[in-house]
Amino acid sequence: PSPHPLPTEAIHSALAQLHQGTRLLNQGNVEQAIAHYRRAIALNPNAVEAYQYLAEALTQQGALAEAAECYRRAIELTESASSSAAADQTEISMETMVFHRSHPTR
């Protein structure tokens, strides 16, 4: 995850690009869909779904090496988010344990 959160407008714009790309991909407009997915990623570099859909579109186009790189990036982002969530949960557990040790019930 990014240390600096993205502005809400960038996230909404990225989602709009993602939805437009998906609509175009479903209509068979692979080239246009790819352009929208790339814009979504430019607006929100942490958009896992944009990398996944871009990889799917690139696969349909036969650009397998670039598709594989997009899938790899999606996996990295997912693992990073999972690690961050796990780290947050570990920190909460430790704080809870410290609290209970410093405030024993009688």
33 close to 57: Cβ distance less than 8 angstroms: yes
Residue 90 lies in a domain: yes
**By residue range, what is the domain housing residue 83?**
8-102
The model's pTM:
0.72
Residue 1 lies in a domain: no
CATH number for 55: 1.25.40.10
- pLDDT tens digits along 44-72: 999 899 999 999 999 999 999 999 999 99
The residue-averaged pLDDT of 9-38 equals 94
The answer for residues whose C-beta is within 8 angstroms of residue 6's C-beta and 6 or more apart is 43, 44, 46
Q: HSE of 15 in the Cβ direction (CA atoms, 13 Å)?
A: 7
